[in-house]
């Protein structure tokens, strides 16, 4: 009798029972001392910004909540961020006001998490918030002194958990692509800002935290004396990746039809406009600035990044 001749053939595909693999797995990912609500932990601290916990495997699925064992005063806030691993910009950010009692406080996520690992860190905590921890192995804490650019190990266990309503049963631990097919784990964003530039100062116009890439940035300056010498810069992960002035592009022969860097409007003391379609990739942030050494120009930028989500 062939496999499909058996009435329960679908349960034995691949020679093993697959029932468990198609049912939802509601689970808790944790590494702590099983502390229960109402218990005062032996060790606790007002958490330092950029301290976090790293779960390295088995984190794909429907991420319902992130939980911290903490206490507050019912007023002060704590903000956490999360991403697939340290040194990557935030994929998500949640702020809560912890209750004035020791308990597992819930940060509701309710989103699919398409990555095999999960890194959770405290981005900002106000004075009255305290987080429990201990000094037992296995350690899994990390701390950054440069706003997440690099992370060092901490020999502690912070009381942080992840709650899943649909954890996947042992996916291939590959983040990004499988067989060259992109995982649908990106989302589009849009941000713009215009400002009067302080004279001779590099003015920040747009700052976006996250990981991803950007293939479209627009630069604009209003008519004014010396508008064409306004300088724009693009920084990826804190490193300057691109810089130009309208006058330089005009001198180099850029026009509206030039690929990647199109000078669609150029006027001495007048309206100037750049369409930049070069692909900028970043792991933590992208930042746009503008500067003019001779006058207070009104400059603007529009940024259209694609971010991990």
Choosing from 116, 146, 171, the residue where a domain stops is: 171
Two tokens at 206?
């747009």
Do 122 and 143 contact (CB within 8 A), yes or no? Answer: no
**Same-domain check for residues 108 and 199:** no
The model's pLDDT over 10-52, given as tens digits with 9 standing for 90+, comes to 444 444 455 566 778 889 999 999 999 999 999 999 999 999 9
CB atoms within 10 A of CB 292: 24
* CA–CA distance, 266 with 264 (Å, rounded to integer): 7
**Same-domain check for residues 63 and 166:** yes
pLDDT score, position 162:
97
* CA–CA distance, 2 with 309 (Å, rounded to integer): 44
Alpha helices in the chain (DSSP H): 19-22, 246-251
pTM of the model: 0.79
pLDDT score, position 188:
74
Domain containing residue 40 = 22-171
Q: Give me the residues of the chain with pLDDT under 70, please.
A: 1-21, 170-187
Do 157 and 136 contact (CB within 8 A), yes or no? Answer: yes
**Same-domain check for residues 125 and 227:** no
**Same-domain check for residues 136 and 195:** no
* CA–CA distance, 73 with 161 (Å, rounded to integer): 22
**Same-domain check for residues 96 and 149:** yes
pLDDT score, position 24:
81
- Is 2 domain-assigned? no
Concatenating the DSSP letter of every residue in 179-201 gives: TTEEPS-EEE--EEEEEEPPTTS
Domain total in the chain: 2
**Same-domain check for residues 229 and 96:** no
pLDDT score, position 4:
40
Two tokens at 144?
């950054």
* CA–CA distance, 74 with 86 (Å, rounded to integer): 30
């Amino acid at each position: 009798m062939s496999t499909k001749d058996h009435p329960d053939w679908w349960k034995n595909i691949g020679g093993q029972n697959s029932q468990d693999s198609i049912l939802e797995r509601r689970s808790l990912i944790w590494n702590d001392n099983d502390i229960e609500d109402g218990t005062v932990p032996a060790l606790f601290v007002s958490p330092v910004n950029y301290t976090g916990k790293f779960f390295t495997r088995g984190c794909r699925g429907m991420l319902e909540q992130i939980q911290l064992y903490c206490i507050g005063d019912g007023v002060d806030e704590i903000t956490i961020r999360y991403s697939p691993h340290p040194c990557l910009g935030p994929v998500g950010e949640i702020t809560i006001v912890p209750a004035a009692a020791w308990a597992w406080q819930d940060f509701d996520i309710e989103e699919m998490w398409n990555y095999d690992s999960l890194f959770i860190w405290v981005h900002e905590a106000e004075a009255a918030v305290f987080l429990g921890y201990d000094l037992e192995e296995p350690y899994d804490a990390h701390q950054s002194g440069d706003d997440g650019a690099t992370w060092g190990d901490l020999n502690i266990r912070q009381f942080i958990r992840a709650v899943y309503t649909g954890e996947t049963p042992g996916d291939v631990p590959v983040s990004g692509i499988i067989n060259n097919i992109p995982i649908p784990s990106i989302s589009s964003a849009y941000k713009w800002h215009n400002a009067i530039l302080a004279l001779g100062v590099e003015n920040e116009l747009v700052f976006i935290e996250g990981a991803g890439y950007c293939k479209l940035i627009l630069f604009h300056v209003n008519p004014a004396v010396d508008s064409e010498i306004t300088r724009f810069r693009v920084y990826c992960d804190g490193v300057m990746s691109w810089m130009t002035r309208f006058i330089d592009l005009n001198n180099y022969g850029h026009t509206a039809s030039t690929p990647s860097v199109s000078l669609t409007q150029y006027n001495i003391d007048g309206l100037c406009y750049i369409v930049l379609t070069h692909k900028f990739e970043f792991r933590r942030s992208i930042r746009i600035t503008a500067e003019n050494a001779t006058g207070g120009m009104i400059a603007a930028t529009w940024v259209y990044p694609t971010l991990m989500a």
